[in-house]
Every structure is written in C-alpha cells, then in structure tokens.
Chains A and B, each alone.
Chain A
Amino acid sequence: MSEKIVINHLRKVYKTDEQETVALEDFSLEIQKGELISIVGPSGCGKTTLLRLIAGLMEPSSGEVSIGGKKCTGPGPDRGMVFQEFALFPWRSVRKNVEFGLEIAGVPAEQRRKTAERYIRAVGLEGFEDHRVHELSGGMKQRVGIARALVTKPDVLLMDEPFGALDAQTRNIMQGELLRIVEKTDTTILFVTHSVDEAVYLSDRIVVLTKRPASIKDIVNIDLPRPRDRASPEFIRLRKQILTELEDENVRPAVNVEALNGGK
C-alpha cells in the first residue's frame, strides 16, 4: 500500500434516448500515499459519480485510474469504499462484517479472525464483535463500515459522505476518530462531503468542484496543524474562502447554500 494513485482525464457521460448528459469533465488528480483529500462541490454536481468511477463500480466514458502505474479495471479490494448508508450486511455480526473482505480473498479462518479483531480494536469497537448490526448506533455502524473497508489494506479508502447520516455531535466525534485511525493505519483517503466544515477539519487538500458537469475548480491546501480548532481565525478564513467558491457555482445561491451547510 505504498503506491501513488493517479486519476487521468476521467470523463463520464450519461446517455439516455433523447440526450447525453456530461456528469464529469476532465478530472485529473494525483494522490500521494497517506494523503487525506476531500471533494466538495454543489449538490448533485457528480461527486458520487466520481467516487464510483474510481471505485470501479461505474465505467468511465474516457480516462483512467491507476495505482502505482497499474490501470484499475472494475472494482477491487485495492480501493476500499465506505458508504453513507453504511451498507453493512445485517445478517452478519460485527466480526463477520469486518471479515467479509478476507473471506472473499480466501484467508484461513483463524487468521481472518485475528486480523478482523485488530481492525475492530482500531475503530474502537472491542467488546462488540458478536453484536448484530441493528443493535449498533449510527456512529458505531460507520466504525464497522470503516473497519470492513480497511481490512483488505486498500491503497485508497473512498468515503462517500460517510458521516452524512449521523447527527452533528456523533459526526464531530467520528471526524476525530477517522484522523486517529488514519494516523494508526497510514491510509490514503478520498473523502466526498457536503460539509465544508468537515472538509477543512479533516483534509490535507480540498478539491472544489464546479457545478454539473463537474470539473476541478480549485485545489486548496490546508496546512493547519492537527488537531484543528474550528474556531480559529485561520480555520474560519479557509471555510469562508471555500464556501464563497462554491456559492459562485450556484445559480440560485439562496437555495443551494443551505444545502451546502446542511450537514455542518
């Protein structure tokens, strides 16, 4: 898991009988190992499309994603994914959810159990190994989601608004937890979010997208030391800068600004 991720001129066109809609236009990005990059953009601009293209869950119309010079075709365990609605398997226990990727890879049961336990501990769920998914709170569910995605040691963890379904307080806790986990496991993360606050709090770099068809409007480096103080003038300045960039993208700011701030 030491490879650089290169996204090269990614483009996606949706075709229907009547028309073609360009969802993503010429998206190129290089992600260094261990980087945490957030992607923010106007509602419905194609952030999720971008993530699904990188995950291999969708075919790009042109362009490619490569890891360490090797082109990615289709989904694979080298790109882990964390879903907004968790997407945990309710018929499996916490342990069995986390073990899923190892099971698929044919790892022997005993080693599977050991590895899974290590990741369950890493996300702070020790003692809940044999619980069922419906017994967990939203925050705990997403911890399982993260552990399940990390267990195959992906080169990059793709997170699609992972904390969007959580309440504000749990969300802040999970942001802190994510940074702790990242530090421990040295994972590279591509993080899609609605919340500019979240992006500034977490990221090394923030990619700001234009409205549909999405393309890169700006890439903002965040050099603030961690843990970051949301009330510091520098934090607020960066937040404001990115919000302003996003507002420029909205035809009707009165409606969309609210949507952008919705999750914070």
Chain B
Amino acid sequence: MDLSLKYLVYDKDNRHHRMLRRGIIAAVSLVVFVLIWWNLSLLLDNPAIPTPQTTWEALVFLFQNGDSISGMTMWGHMGISLERFFSGLLLALAVAVPFGLLLGYSDTLKEFSSATLEALRPIAPIAWAPIFLFTVGYTWGPILVVFVGIFFPVLTNTTFGVKKIDPNWVDAAKTLGATKVQTFVKVMLPAAVPYIMNGLRIGMGVGWMCIVASELYASFGGGVGYFISIQAQMGYWPNVYAGIVIIAILGILTTSLADYLHKVITRRMGIE
C-alpha cells in the first residue's frame, strides 16, 4: 500500500513521470477541445457544425463502407493522398538537393538562377494548382503542387548547409587527394544532410497543406481533399468533418515522422 502511494508523487527527474505528465496534459487539452466543439455545435445548432459524436459515427461508417458519391472508403482516399504526397516529396528531394548543393557551390549558378528563383519563391504553391491540374491531370497536378511546396524550403536549407560547411573539411579532403567531384559527394553532401533534413521538416508541413488544397480544386481523382470538397457540395457535413479529422491526423503523423528522421539522422551524422 505504501509502495504504490510512492509512485503517485510526481518526480520530475523520472523520465517516465515526465512522459506520463506530458501525455496527460495533451489528453486533457484534447478533451477540452472536443467539449468546446460539442457545446458550440449544440449552441449554434447549424447543420455545418455537427457534434463530435455524429462526426465520429460518420468516420467509422466511411472507413467501413465508404461514401456513395466516390464509391471509395476513407482508406482509399487516404491512400491516394499519401501516394501523391510522397511522390511529390521524393521528386522535390531529387531535384532540390542536387540543385541546392550546386547553388551553394557555384557562385555563377547562383547569380544565374537567383533572379528567377526569387521571383517564383513568393508564389503560394497552391496558386499553381489550376494550371497543373489542367496541364498534367488529376494525379500529377497535386503531385507537382506538393513538389513546389517542398522544393523551396529544401533548396534554401541545402544551399545554406553548403555555405555553413567548415572550410577546413574541404581543405582536409583536398590535401588527402580528393577531386572536386569527390569533395562534393564525400564532404559537401554529408555535411549538408542535417540542413537538408531541416528543410524537409519544414517542407513536409507545407507539402501536406498543398496536397489537400490542390485536391480541393480537383473535381475528379479521389484523395482526402477531393472527398471533403464533394461532401461539402452535397451538404454532408459530418463527412466533411470526418475528412478534416483525417487530414489533421495524417498531418501530425507526417510532421512527427519528419521530426523523428531529423533527430535520428542529425545524431547519426554527429552534428547537433
């Protein structure tokens, strides 16, 4: 009896206690949020603000049976959105990382491309959605919007990473006989990885907004954004909310994934 009581006292030096504390606070915060939502929906009595309960029921139904308009379950829509998201992400990495490294390396290239890049950078990625959807269709359109959203943060951070490289590392590589290409691959690329990861972390948040927003534009092709858009047109509000909940959860998962990768890789690279 005495023993169990000891564990009830909060010990801030105990890691498990700290984790439990954080978990409880987060849970309480979520409960408060849901209660406020619930009260608002009852108070306002507006069909566009369903209660958490009806939303939950809609969500369960959508996962099990899907909706009548698209004929797909929520799993299907999630799969489509995630596939587009990660395609855009990979495409952005494949282009932005080598380009960013070169930009950090070559002043000529930087001078050549900076005017164009600076003109394109401030454009909200979603502004490209109508054009991309029209030109490359309902699968590649959203992928390209995600690409634009992730491209710039990764590019900027990669270039910054190259600029921050300890010049002694490059000198050391040179005195050990490294050619320009070898220095690039064996020193600059690994040294820039933590910065690339930071760009990726920022980019993934942007990219997730891009995928949903571009799907909202689309009138075909599936995806969570598309699902929300058609359900709203039909006035099936609990379904709209179910879609929003899914977006929130997937958003949290993707950013946590990015945070985790950033932490692991940065530690692995020995650079804090």
Contacts and interface: CB of A to CB of B under 8 A. Distances in A.
Given A91-B269, A134-B270, A149 B187 contact: no
B63 interface: no
Instruction: Give the size category of A's interface with B.
Output: 20 to 34
A53 interface: no
B147 to A, nearest CB: 28
Contacts of A74: 174
Nearest to A132: B270
Q: Which of A100, A103, A105, A152 has the most CB of B within 10 A?
A: A100
Nearest to A97: B172
Interface in A64-98: 74-77, 79-81, 83, 85, 87-92
Instruction: Give the size category of B's interface with A.
Output: 20 to 34
Contact of B270 (A77, A90, A149): A90
Contact of A104 (B166, B168, B178): B178
B171 A83 contact: yes
Given A90-B270, A134-B270, A57 B174 contact: yes
Q: B interface, by DSSP: helix, strand, loop or mixed? A: helix
A9 B172 CA distance: 26
Contact of B166 (A56, A77, A87, A103): A87
A41 interface: no
A236 to B, nearest CB: 35
A148 B169 CA distance: 12
A148 B271 CA distance: 20
Nearest to A90: B270
Interface string A96-117: 0000110111000000000000
A97 to B, nearest CB: 9
Interface string A112-129: 000000000000000000
Given A89-B187, A89-B190, A103-B186, A79 B269 contact: no
Contacts of B176: 77, 80, 100-101, 104, 148-149, 152
B74 interface: no
B175 interface: yes
Given A100-B186, A103-B186, A91 B177 contact: no
Contacts of A89: 169, 172, 187, 190-191
Contacts of B182: 104
Given A85-B168, A103-B186, A104-B182, A90 B175 contact: no
A103 B187 CA distance: 13
A91 B271 contact: yes
Nearest to B171: A57
Interface in B214-272: 268-271
Contacts of B174: 56-57, 74-75
A55 interface: yes
Interface in A43-58: 55-57
Interface of B: 166, 168-169, 171-179, 182, 186-187, 190-191, 193, 268-271
